[in-house]
Amino acid sequence: MPVRTIVLLAVGVFCLTGGLMVRRRLPLFRPRVGSGRVARQWATERDRVSFSTDGLFIASPSLSARRTLGARQRDALTAGGAALLVGLVLAPHVVLLGLVAFCTVAYVASMVVRLWLFKISLGGTALIKIPDSEALGTPDEVFDSYTVMVPVFREPEVMSSLVEHLRHLDYPAERLQILLLAEADDSATIAAARVAIGAAADLRILIVPPGGPRTKPKALNYGLTHATGTFLTIFDAEDRPDPLQLRRAAIALSRLPPEVACLQARLGFFNGGQNVITRWFQVEYSMWFRQMLPGLSKLRVPIPLGGTSNHFRKEVLLDLGAWDPYNVTEDADLGVRLSRAGYRSEVMDSLTLEEANSDFVNWAKQRSRWYKGYLQTFLVHMRDFRESQRLLGTRRLLFLMLFVGGTPLMAMVNPIFWTLTVVWFVVKPAWLMAVFPAPLYFLGLFCWLAGNFLFTFTCMLEAIEVDDSLFVAALLTPVYWVMMSVAAYKALVQVFFAPAYWEKTRHGLAKAVVGATAPARPTP
């Protein structure tokens, strides 16, 4: 072995060991029943506000994204970065070869797992199904109480439509609580909501007190302190839910074992055909909620929940400390924490229509927020690897790493390999050949040809299944991947410099003549 390689390894081991042998240690999360019970008494308004901003941090500080990196993580990243720089100076070939090998294996694993999930989802057997006849035929008196929470912020233009679709929900009125969660200084949205509600008392506007962080999960936590339902769900301001969704969820949750703490309804778009961006978005959402999530549920691994139409047992939320107000994908993080605590999430065959972002800038804001939240969630749950492995098990931990951490990271790596491919065909430098020995070269070639073909092919199959007009967009999916990479790098910058900043997604951009209307109210 060359002397400089030995020196490199020695320096790397020394740096990494120094980062890991730090005496500072974050508290471990010990799943326990009732970790939120003290806070749920809420003797004063101050108690409610404290729970909404710091409930999780107080109950389980190691699981809060209030601090992006733990002390050991900062030291490990510093040591790892130093070792990488030293390695690039002393033995660049060895370091580059190792990086290429790691990324290639990750690509192969991602491809195999996604094809596996696609196979599992065939036939729709992984979905929880409650037919219309059963949802409508179940007597009203057997249903448990339900709370619907809708966080709204700077969107007065959709208040009229929102109230209309909320009133389409078919559920016993005396058992239904609907809360619109509005920020205290958002006078335009509050005024529009009051006009839309009118004199009826079936909806209530709940004013969220000012103070940071100003995020959706903080508003949800505050709403939770006022929730009276046994079950609870969240809708977004632009949502058009299946009118029978609450009935379906209540029947399913009462029938399923207690460890099933959440039912995630499928999401789609009412303006999916507006332009090429919305068509890409429609294909992606369809694959995610018809293939990926049902497959993950069937395998009983952590599910990154969607931000809307997820139906919970309220007591479980309280026991877990509810949502993390500092995590900008509070839904995905909550799905992981449910799994850590021994609960499961299932996917329900009920559709909520949303508004797909039709503008690239607006889309990039939303997607970078999602990627940033995935990175936050990954970093939080990797603070203590051994504890995560103990609670999740090796298989579930690997899926967490692949789907939650791997999704934004692979979107960042993609442009690097695309650039290397172009450089190889144009220049054919010798150093590039050296870091792609025959085994890695053929494995990478397989990923490039077979992987890209299979991903694009499954997108086209999904487009044909959902809507033939999406076929051309599905064929052009690689262009969509470039957009994802742009959003991923934006997320990487923000996760360190503005981790809790919530970039607002603008609603109301859909063309009125495009797409489907709200699901009709079924009749017996």
Instruction: Answer yes or no: are the C-beta atoms of 165 and 241 closer than 8 Å.
Output: yes
Same domain for 235 and 86: no
Q: 417 with 520, same domain? A: yes
Distance separating alpha carbons of residues 111 and 451, to the nearest angstrom: 6
- For 65-84, letters b (16+ CB in 10 Å) and e give bbbbbbebbebbeebeebbe
Q: What is the CATH number of the domain that holds 522?
A: 3.90.550.10
Q: Name the domain boundary from 52, 68, 100.
A: 100
**Of the candidates 62, 57, 54, 60, which has an alpha carbon nearest to the alpha carbon of residue 25?**
62
Domain shared by 263 and 407, yes or no: yes
Strand partners, 310: 264
User: CA-CA distance, 79 to 418, in Å (whole number)?
Assistant: 29
- Same domain for 44 and 182, yes or no, is no
Q: Are residues 385 and 432 in the same domain?
A: yes
Helix spans in 130-228 (H): 132-137, 159-167, 187-197, 216-224
| 310-313 and 231-234 strand pairing | antiparallel
Indicate the number of domains in the chain.
2
The one-character DSSP state at 354 is E
Q: Which residues pair with 146 in a beta bridge?
A: 176, 231
Statement to judge: residues 17 and 86 lie in one domain: yes
Angle between helices 92-121 and 3-20 (to 10 degrees): 60
Nearest to 415, CA basis, from 315, 501, 487: 487
Rounded CA-CA distance 434/94 in Å is 10
Q: Are residues 18 and 142 in the same domain?
A: no
Give the other-Cβ count within 10 Å of 361's Cβ.
Answer: 8
| 160 shares a domain with 77 | no
Same domain (yes/no): 421, 395: yes
| Under 8 Å between Cβ of 313 and 253 | yes
Tell me phi and psi for residue 243, to 5 degrees: -60, -25
The domain boundary, picked from 100, 129, 144, lies at 100
* DSSP alpha helix (H) spans, 60-91: 71-90
What string of pLDDT tens digits covers the 524 residues of the chain? 444 443 333 434 334 334 333 333 323 223 333 334 434 567 789 899 999 999 999 888 999 999 888 888 888 888 888 988 998 888 888 999 999 999 999 988 888 888 888 888 776 677 899 999 999 999 999 999 999 999 999 999 999 999 999 999 999 999 999 999 999 999 999 999 999 999 888 899 999 999 889 999 999 999 999 999 999 999 999 999 999 999 999 999 999 999 999 999 999 999 999 999 999 999 999 999 988 999 999 999 999 999 899 999 999 999 999 999 999 999 999 999 999 999 999 999 999 999 999 999 999 999 999 999 999 999 999 998 999 999 999 999 999 999 999 999 999 999 999 999 899 889 889 888 888 888 888 888 888 888 888 888 888 888 888 888 899 999 999 999 999 999 999 999 999 889 988 888 887 777 743 444 444 444 44
The answer to whether the predicted template modeling score (pTM) of the entire model surpasses 0.85 is yes
Q: Identify whether the C-beta of residue 403 lies closer than 8 Å to the C-beta of residue 296.
A: yes
Which residue type occupies 408? P
Examine the fold and report which residue of 42, 72, 100 is the final residue of a domain before the chain moves on: 100
Measured CA to CA, the distance from residue 297 to residue 365 in angstroms comes to 28
Q: Are residues 71 and 140 in the same domain?
A: no
Distance from C-alpha of 217 to C-alpha of 57, rounded to nearest angstrom: 13
Identify any residues that bridge with 127 across adjacent strands, giving them in sequence order.
Answer: 347
Report the C-alpha gap between 85 and 164 in whole angstroms: 58
95/110 same-domain check: no
The domain in which residue 272 lies consists of 102-524
My answer on whether 314 and 405 are in the same domain is yes
